[in-house]
Amino acid sequence: MDIGTIAKELNLKVISASDKMKNIVTGGYTGDLLSDVMANSHEGDIWITRQVHQNIVAIATLKEHAGIILVNSCEPAKNTLEKAIAEKVPILVSDLPVFELTGKIYNLLAAAK
């Protein structure tokens, strides 16, 4: 499933890299502790987080995540957005809290398998 489909299904707002909506999502990871995300997430994951500072872009780039979704309608910090645009990392925003969003994405991915 590509990230654009998830965005459409869950009514997510695309904040950066709208030309990368064909990125394939192979799994997901939810977390705000960066060392945990660094160690345990995988390439192709969609990363769900409440962190909005620019280091999330470095992690997503390094781990080759399909994209980042910010929860609870949180907007990225200005330098996060600039970095995401420069690095072509899709950042999307959901108005859902983290538990609900994670569950919905889990179900979407499971149904697509």
Partner 1 sequence: MNPAVNKSEDTLNKYSFNIEGGNFNDAGTVSTRIKSILKQKGLPNDVVRKSAIVCYEAEINIVSYARKGTVNLTITAETVEIEVIDEGPGIPDIEQAMEQGYSTANQQIREMGFGAGMGLHNINSYSDKFDITSEVNKGTFLKMIINNPQSTKDL
Smallest CA-to-CA distance from 68 within 50, 113, 86 is with: 50
Q: Which of 6, 7, 15, 59 is the binder for partner 1 (CB under 8 A)?
A: 59
- Going edge to edge, which strands form the sheet with 13-14? 13-14, 91-93, 67-70, 45-49, 27-30
Mark the segment that binds partner 1 (CB under 8 A) among 1-9, 11-19, 50-58, 99-107: 50-58
Q: Which of 1, 10, 58, 108 is the binder for partner 1 (CB under 8 A)?
A: 58
In the 3-class helix/strand/coil scheme, how is 76-88 assigned residue by residue? CCHHHHHHHHHHC
Shortest approach of partner 1 to residue 7 CB, angstroms?
24
Shortest approach of partner 1 to residue 57 CB, angstroms?
8
Mark the segment that binds partner 1 (CB under 8 A) among 6-14, 21-29, 59-67, 91-99: 59-67
Entry field: residues in the chain = 113
When asked if residue 75 is in the footprint of partner 1 (CB under 8 A), the reply is no
Q: Which of 36, 72, 73, 112 is the binder for partner 1 (CB under 8 A)?
A: 36
- With 0-12 / 13-18 / 19 or more C-beta atoms within 10 angstroms meaning exposed / middle / buried, residue 29 is middle
